[in-house]
């Protein structure tokens, strides 16, 4: 985009997950077609729309839910999932990591995912020309790159 400086940081995978409480009560789907028997927890925001399909081995399968709830905020999506409200088909690993480590969330629909998101950091060209902005930009990019690298090392199963 003209007038912007962008730095690519890496890829962020999305996970299908639910809480152990939800899975105890309703069981885990093993194929996207089984989501019709489950409650979906979806993100619908100005920057993201609800995932409509999952892909595995190049094959896409549409998602249909018995019922669903929709949020504009990823923290609300994660909280609803942790509390056992349903299944999230597309929680970013970054937002799921602590709940995965603590056992509050479990991954489901193994191998079925929506495509990962490319992560970037942006600044306007005008702002980037200022030394203090460039230093902050470079520092933020380095920190985010390290975070993404750590996630890839800790959770290699969600990449590739």
CB 6 within 8 A of CB 127: no
- Please give the Cα distance from 42 to 78 (Å, whole number): 10
**Prediction pTM value:** 0.87
User: Edge-to-edge strands of the sheet including 14-18?
Assistant: 88-92, 14-18, 106-107
Q: Can you give the pLDDT of all 160 residues of the chain as single tens digits?
A: 688 999 888 889 999 999 999 999 999 999 999 999 999 999 998 888 899 999 999 999 999 999 999 999 999 999 999 999 999 999 999 999 999 999 999 999 999 999 998 889 899 999 999 999 999 999 999 998 899 899 999 999 888 7
């Amino acid at each position: 985009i003209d007038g912007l400086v962008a730095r690519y940081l890496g890829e962020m995978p999305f996970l299908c997950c639910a809480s152990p409480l939800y899975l105890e009560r309703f069981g885990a789907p093993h194929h996207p077609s089984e989501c019709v028997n489950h409650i979906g927890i979806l993100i619908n925001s100005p920057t993201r729309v609800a995932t409509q399909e999952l892909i595995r081995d190049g094959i896409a399968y549409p998602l249909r839910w018995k019922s669903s709830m929709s949020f504009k905020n990823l923290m609300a999506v994660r909280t609803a999932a942790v509390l056992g409200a349903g299944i999230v088909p597309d929680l970013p690993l970054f937002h799921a990591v602590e709940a995965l480590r603590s056992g509050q969330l479990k991954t489901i629909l193994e191998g079925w995912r929506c495509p990962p998101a490319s992560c970037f950091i942006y600044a306007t060209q005008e702002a980037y020309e200022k030394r203090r902005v460039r230093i902050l930009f470079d520092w933020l990019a380095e920190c985010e790159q390290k975070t993404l690298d750590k996630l890839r090392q800790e959770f290699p199963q969600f990449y590739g």
